[in-house]
């Protein structure tokens, strides 16, 4: 009888702590020596966390979130011990200065378990994705800036606890909290016996002492007489140069069979760059800061080698050297995993968004300014096969002033579910995001990539361009089956832009002029809320110049000037906020 009673109590304890037994499959080392780690899992309503910290049992530990990694206006869950040895877990928020913590009136941090030794504390807790508390951070798809603070204890309380002490450990990690669970079931293809490895590196580049350098290398790949499929690739960054390499692209050179290209390296835009560089436009692999490895789905791989395959590639390195340091040398690149065991489809990469052109501009001192790049029905009609393409991954990309990025999908003017979105974008975390569903894009469909920029600290207009201080608005989508469409991007029609400059001279007496360059004209405008609003309206209403480019770099045949913008007849309805519905009558 006693045994049955004990067993019954044990079952009750276990069932009340099902979450304690959950394996949290997603993991990050917050501190390089694994003295602080975070693991997590999620379901439709909650996120389940486990934190392991090599700390004294009396230390206090905070895990929190903020829009872009600031310690101001943050939302934290704090584990702490008082002077009597009692454990507490408290939902707090930080003030606008990021100096102090304050106890939240609504407590939404749910402590599940604690395990402590003399040198380690392990806590498990959960948080709802949306708590309907204005003090709490909404956990959503995209980038999550996750904050960590560790301090000495015990504490008498957390109200008013300082975040400025010299004896505090503070760190911030950018995460994607909601990656597909399907990826956990994928085998490690890099360990399979039939898989080979190839590193494509820029060898001993003497990086120039300037802020931005695009360095190109043309070279020949090893002979691959048989067709292969690339099934995964990842960055191979030289140790110590993680801050220097902003992004890398490897292009296939589509030279005619039997044509020999010569090895060359140098500044991509140098006057002495060979004509052969123009053959190299088809993306094989693209990586940017913060991006993890890309593993292709089991039904697709990127084709490499075989009969009539041109063995030449171009490596393009974007070096970001804001301190203008001389003498730095780099041998970074991309590591490819490939196999002769071919998959059903050849995969490709398509570039969406705005053309790299100074025709795009963001006025200074803007808290929010949106620009959109169009991939129009005319371009997808000539570029896609009858059954369309299947998109499986997306990589959003801007430079320093980008704050939010998203790509919308339209068919006959009707909006379909979004392709990808990041409401807390960071140029330091440009993840190649595996989509949770394959997205079928048909001929005639349209895609609209929008970037929200913030230029509060800029004194003049920020223009489109290649420098890190310039801006971009791009989405690299990975898909199958591969097509000959490489670029589907837009810019404002030049005639419309010149009419705007003329109007600014006539109505605002700005020193714009027809004989000035686009850059000089933008920099001649006296930026005010009114002139910024006029520019915003211009971008929203003007016709487009389209880049509907083949892998050779040439445009598809057709008229790509003065094109209409993406047609929107039926946008998606606004998402219903569950917090606004809590008081509603369910029968209504």
Per 3-state DSSP, what percentage of the chain is helix, strand, and coil (rounded to 5)? Answer: 10, 40, 45
**DSSP H/E element including 127:** strand 121-128
Q: How many domains does the chain have?
A: 3
pLDDT digits (tens, 9 = 90+) for 99-116: 899 999 999 999 999 999
Indicate whether 584 belongs to any domain. Answer: no
Question: Residue 7 corresponds to which tokens in the numbers above?
Answer: 């067993």
- Cβ atoms within 10 Å of 428's Cβ, excluding its own: 13
Give the active site residue among 88, 102, 169, 214: 214
Shared domain for 360 and 298, answered yes or no, is no
The reported pLDDT for the residue numbered 185 is 67
Q: What is the mean pLDDT of residues 286-303?
A: 91
Report the pLDDT value the prediction gives residue 17, as an integer from 0 to 100. Answer: 46
Tokens 């970001």: give the residue.
320
Is 205 part of a structural domain of the chain? yes
- Are the C-beta atoms of 55 and 68 separated by less than 8 Å? no
**Can you tell me the distance from the alpha carbon of 120 to that of 208, in angstroms, rounded to the nearest whole number?**
46
φ, ψ of residue 40 to 5 degrees: the values are -160, 165
Residue whose tokens read 């190649």? 432
Rounded CA separation 354/398 (Å)? 10
Residues 353 and 341 in one domain: no
Where helices occur in 233-348 by DSSP H, the ranges are: none
Q: How many helices (H) and strands (E) does the chain have?
A: 5, 36
Residues 453 and 494 placed together within one structural domain of the fold: yes
* 429 and 449 together in one domain: yes
Please answer whether residues 92 and 104 qualify as being in contact, where contact means their C-beta atoms are separated by less than 8 angstroms: yes
Is 505 in the active site?
no
Residue 447: band (very low, low, confident or very high) from pLDDT cuts 50, 70, 90: very high
Residue 322 placed within a domain? yes
Bigger pLDDT: 290 vs 57: 57
Same domain, 404 and 530: yes
Of 238-252, 274-288, 513-527, minimum mean pLDDT range:
274-288
**Token digits of residue 382:** 């000539």
**Which residue segment(s) compose the domain that 236 sits in?**
186-345
pLDDT at 164 over 80: yes
Query: Which 8-state DSSP code applies to residue 530?
Result: H
State which of 178, 198, 214 marks the end of a domain: 178
Q: What is the pLDDT of residue 468?
A: 82
Q: Could you tell me if 39 and 157 lie in one domain? A: yes
How far is 434 from 180, CA to CA, in rounded Å? 7
Work out the average pLDDT over 192-203: 92
For the chain, percent of residues with pLDDT exceeding 70 = 94
Is the whole-model pTM more than 0.75?
yes
Residue of 45, 53, 170, 36 whose CA lies nearest to 110? 45
CA distance 472 to 360: 9
Domain boundary residue, one of 178, 210, 233:
178
Cβ 54 vs Cβ 148: under 8 Å: no
Helical (H) or strand (E) element with 500: helix 494-507
**CATH code of 417's domain:** 2.60.120.230
Pair 352, 495 in one domain: yes
Which class for 58: exposed (0-12), middle (13-18), buried (19 or more C-beta within 10 A)?
middle
Nearest to 302 by CA among 506, 551, 20: 551
The pLDDT assigned to 84 comes to 94
Cβ atoms 309, 224 nearer than 8 A: yes
397 is annotated as an active-site residue: yes
Q: Are 142 and 422 in contact (CB under 8 A)?
A: yes
**Do 111 and 66 fall within a single domain?**
yes
Average pLDDT over residues 179-198: 83
Strand locations in 332-388 (E):
333-339, 345-346, 348-354, 361-362, 369-375
pLDDT of res. 21: 46
Q: Please check whether residue 8 lies inside any domain of the structure.
A: no
69 and 121, same structural domain? yes
pLDDT score of 588: 41
Check if the beta carbon of residue 475 is closer than 8 Å to that of residue 527.
no
Query: Residue written as tokens 């200074």?
Result: 364
Among 28-37, 61-70, 377-386, the minimum mean pLDDT is found in 28-37
pLDDT digits (tens, 9 = 90+) for 462-501: 999 988 889 999 999 999 999 999 999 999 999 999 999 9
What is the domain-level CATH number for residue 52?
2.60.40.1210
Q: C-alpha angle with apex 316: 315 to 318, nearest 5 degrees?
A: 145
What six digits make up the tokens of 521?
Answer: 């004209």
CB 83 within 8 A of CB 154: yes
Residue 208 domain-assigned?
yes
- Are residues 265 and 192 part of one domain? yes
Cβ–Cβ < 8 Å for 480, 501: no
| Position 261 in a domain | yes
**Active-site position among 252, 279, 318, 397:** 397
Tell me, what's the pLDDT at 289? 83
256 and 134 in a common domain: no
Residues 119 and 218 in one domain: no
In a domain, 200, yes or no: yes
Question: Which of 512, 514, 510 has its CA nearest to residue 528?
Answer: 510
d(CA 404, CA 68): 11
Cα-atom radius of gyration of the chain, to the nearest Å? 27
Strand order in the sheet with 414-422: 369-375, 446-453, 402-411, 414-422
CATH number at residue 276: 2.60.120.310
Q: How far apart are CA 267 and CA 201, in angstroms?
A: 16
**215 domain-assigned:** yes
* CA 567 vs CA 84, 128, 474, 537, 546: distances in Å: 66, 37, 20, 17, 15
Whether the CA torsion 429, 235, 487, 412 is positive or negative: it is negative
Which band of pLDDT confidence, cut at 50, 70 and 90, is reported for residue 183? low
Which of 289, 324, 345 is at the close of a domain?
Answer: 345
Q: What CA dihedral angle connects 42, 391, 450 and 182, to 10 degrees?
A: 10
The gap between the terminal CA atoms of the chain, to the nearest Å, is 53
Assess contact for 79 and 89: CB atoms under 8 A. Answer: yes
Residue 351 token pair: 């570039």
SS3 25: coil
- Summarised one tens digit per residue, pLDDT across range 38-81 is 999 999 999 999 999 999 999 999 999 999 999 999 999 999 99
Rounded average pLDDT over 132-147: 95
Q: What is the mean pLDDT of the chain?
A: 91
Quick one: DSSP state of residue 83? T
Q: Return all residues near 529 (Cβ < 8 A) that are at least 6 apart.
A: none
Indicate the pLDDT class of residue 268, thresholds 50, 70 and 90. Answer: confident
């Amino acid at each position: 009888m006693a045994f049955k009673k004990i067993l019954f109590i044990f079952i009750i304890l276990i069932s009340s702590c099902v979450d304690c037994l959950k394996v949290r499959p997603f993991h990050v080392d917050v501190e390089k020596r694994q003295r602080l780690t975070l693991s997590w899992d999620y379901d439709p309503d909650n996120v389940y966390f486990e934190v392991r910290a090599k700390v004294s049992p009396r230390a206090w530990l905070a895990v929190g979130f903020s829009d872009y990694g600031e310690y101001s206006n943050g939302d934290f869950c704090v584990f702490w011990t008082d002077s009597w040895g009692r454990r507490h877990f408290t939902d707090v928020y930080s003030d606008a200065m990021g100096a102090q913590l304050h106890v939240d009136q609504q407590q939404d941090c749910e402590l599940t378990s604690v395990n402590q030794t003399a040198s380690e504390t392990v806590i498990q807790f959960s948080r709802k994705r949306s708590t309907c508390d204005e003090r709490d951070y909404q956990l959503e798809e995209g980038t999550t800036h996750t904050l960590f603070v560790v301090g000495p204890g015990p504490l008498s309380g957390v109200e008013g606890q300082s975040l400025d002490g010299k004896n505090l450990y503070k760190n911030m990690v950018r995460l994607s909290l909601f990656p597909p669970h399907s990826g956990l079931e994928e085998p490690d293809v890099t360990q399979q016996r039939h898989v080979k490895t190839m590193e494509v590196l820029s060898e001993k580049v003497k990086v120039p002492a300037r802020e931005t350098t695009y360095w190109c290398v043309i070279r020949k790949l090893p002979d691959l007489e048989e067709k292969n499929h690339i099934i995964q690739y990842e960055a191979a960054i030289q140790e110590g140069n993680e801050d220097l390499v902003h992004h890398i692209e490897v292009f296939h050179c589509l030279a005619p069979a039997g044509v020999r290209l010569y090895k060359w390296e140098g500044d991509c835009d140098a006057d002495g760059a060979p004509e052969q560089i123009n053959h190299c436009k088809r993306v094989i692999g693209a990586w940017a800061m913060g991006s993890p490895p890309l593993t292709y789905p089991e039904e697709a791989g990127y084709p490499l080698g075989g009969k009539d395959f041109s063995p030449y590639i171009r490596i393009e390195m974007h070096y970001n050297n804001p301190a203008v340091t001389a003498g730095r040398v780099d041998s970074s690149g991309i590591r490819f995993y490939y196999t002769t065991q071919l998959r059903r489809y050849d995969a490709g990469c398509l570039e969406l968004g705005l053309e790299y052109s100074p025709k795009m501009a963001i006025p200074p001192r803007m808290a929010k300014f949106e620009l959109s790049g169009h991939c129009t029905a005319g371009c997808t009609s000539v570029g896609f096969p009858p059954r369309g393409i299947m998109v499986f991954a997306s990589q959003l990309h801007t430079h320093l002033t980008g704050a939010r990025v998203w790509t919308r999908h339209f068919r006959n003017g009707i909006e379909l579910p979004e392709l990808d979105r990041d409401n807390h974008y960071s140029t330091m975390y440009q993840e190649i995001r595996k989509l949770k569903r394959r997205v079928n894009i048909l001929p005639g469909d349209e895609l609209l990539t929008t970037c929200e920029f913030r230029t509060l600290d800029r004194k003049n207009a920020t223009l489109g361009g290649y420098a890190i201080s310039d801006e971009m608005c791009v989405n690299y989508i990975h898909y199958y089956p591969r097509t000959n469409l490489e670029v589907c991007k837009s810019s404002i029609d030049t005639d419309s832009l010149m009419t705007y400059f003329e109007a600014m001279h006539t109505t605002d007496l700005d020193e714009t002029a027809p004989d000035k360059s686009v850059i000089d004209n933008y920099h001649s405008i006296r930026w005010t809320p009114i002139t910024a609003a006029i520019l915003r309206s211009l971008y929203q209403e003007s016709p487009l110049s389209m880049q509907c480019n083949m892998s050779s770099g040439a445009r598809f045949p057709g008229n790509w000037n003065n094109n209409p913008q993406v047609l929107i007849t039926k946008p998606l309805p606004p998402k219903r906020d569950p917090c606004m519905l809590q008081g509603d009558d369910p029968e209504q």
